[in-house]
Structure 1
Amino acid sequence: MTSTETSWSVAGSLFEGCNCELLCPCHVSFRQRASYGFCEAIWGVHIAEGSSSGVSLDGLNAAVAAYCPGPTMADGNWRAVLYLDQSVSPEQEHALLNVFSGEAGGPWARIAPLYTNGRFEAVRKVRFLFTKESRKRTLQVLDGGDAVSLEVEAIRGADRKGVAKLVNLHNVIHGREHVMARSDYRIHDQELRFEGTGKHGLYSEFKWSGP
């Protein structure tokens, strides 16, 4: 069985931050111009439950960081780096690589062709710290100090009790309800180097499957 024929599904928390101002225009369409004509973005992923070809992926974390030269994300040439949990087994690593590279189908198969040459510039295994609170999501790489971190905190809705949400958007990887948030993020790595405070943020509960 090839990777593209492997049945898989995962569900969990997805959150993101980028250098766009609230709200990132790309969530309406990848053909919308980014706030500043380019995009620096980080996606944090916590898999609550899932499996691929009988291999459990429960509890694993991952992150994708990318620099998109623009002026729209649809123009491609994203410089992208994938971070995987250091604790992954060879089988889990293979499954996650196939998911995020698009080789296993599913939503990332629509994202991966936008990477430069259709692949990640680097794949790193790191120690993650993931936290999930009522209105906040954080993911931090514990290796190398604060080289990679992402924190998003939801914006309160008009009633000042619930959170502000977006629905019915043309988004490939997020769940049906997007919670609007502010983000603080930082990546100081060999391939990518950027950071931002009080920028665009979102989080949702996702379900992905393939092929």
Structure 2
Amino acid sequence: MANDRMETAARIDNRHPGAQKSGQGTVPWAIKGELILNCNCTVFCPCVVSLGKHPPTEGYCQAWAGVRIDEGHFGDADLSGLNVGLILEIPGLMARGNWKAAAYIDERADDDAYNGLIDIFSGKAKGTTGLFKVLVSEFLGAERAPVLFETEGKTRRLIVGKQIHGEVVPVGGANSEEDIVVTNTEYWMGADITVATATKGRVRAFGRVWDFDGRSAEICQIDWNGPR
């Protein structure tokens, strides 16, 4: 299937709530699965425990993320088995907003699932990801794309065409059989975050050229829903 890129006029812009579709923020939705993320922090991302009150290690955040949806729905649209790729850019403290974001939606999604996933990852669907609507000042766009999320042993891999090629692995601990996990957090993604690093973290998209090999990464089991 050919890429189906939204033109500028159709891009989601959280600064214009009047452009919202009817029913946005009222449709029941849920997603269960796994999220991986790799950012430019040189050590484990301080946002997990500081909840955005501590700046990223480089003073700003650039990140890609992948979501594997094991079970999910948006209204009557089935989201199970779909994957999503994300690009995030945050100029300073996470909690201060002014984020930029873009989404790559699995090309296997039908129109209802595609539109539902855009609402979820732009924050317009409210619920767990509703903070995006507040924090993201510029939604760069959304595209249909082949989004591959693979698990091989403890390695997680996200490939989105030529735009994102990422691979993350848990950081080793004293017991090689157990991952290092930060538990019982109030982090928006989930309470338990596995500390990881990127063996590959390359982005070539929306004018961004990023290489985050060896930088901070996270693995998280997600159980999101909305609206609420």
TM over 0.5: yes
Q: Distance in 2 between matches of 1:46 and 1:112?
A: 22
Residue 116 of structure 2 aligns to a residue whose secondary structure is helix
Residues 48-93 of structure 1 deviation map (CA, whole Å, 9 limit, x = unaligned) = 11111121101111011012111x1122222211111112111001
Structure 2 CA distance for aligned equivalents of residues 208 and 87 of structure 1:
21
In the alignment, structure 1 residue 177 sits paired with structure 2 residue 192:
yes
> Contact 2:43–2:57 at 8 Å: present in 1 too?
no
**SS of alignment partner, residue 37 of structure 1:** coil
Overall identity of the aligned pairs, in %: 28
1:119-158 equivalences under 5 Å are 119-142=138-161, 145=162, 147-158=163-174
Distance (whole Å) between structure 2 residues aligned to residue 67 and residue 96 of structure 1: 20
Match of 1:207 in 2: 223
Q: In 1, Cα distance between the equivalents of 2:90 and 2:208?
A: 11
Equivalents in 2 of 1:193, 1:135: separation in Å?
27
- CA displacement 1:20-45 (0-9 Å, x = unmatched): 02211111221211101011111110
Alignment of 1:59-208 (within 5 A): 59-70=81-92, 72-116=93-137, 119-142=138-161, 145=162, 147-174=163-190, 176-183=191-198, 184-208=200-224
Equivalent position amino acid for 1:177 in 2: D
Distance 1:112 1:138 in 2: 28
Q: Give TM-score scaled by structure 1 length.
A: 0.91
Structure 1: runs of 5 or more not aligned? none
Q: Is the 8 A contact 2:85 2:160 kept in 1?
A: no
Distance in 2 between residues matched to 1:140 and 1:128, nearest whole Å: 6
Q: Cα RMSD (Å) of the superposition?
A: 1.5
Q: Distance in 2 between matches of 1:113 and 1:192?
A: 23
CA distance in 2, matches of 1:165, 1:95: 31
Structure 1 runs of 4+ aligned residues shifted over 6 Å read none
CA distance in 1, matches of 2:206, 2:38: 20
Alignment-mate amino acid for residue 53 of structure 2: R
TM-score when normalising by structure 2 = 0.85
1:50 equivalent in structure 2: 72
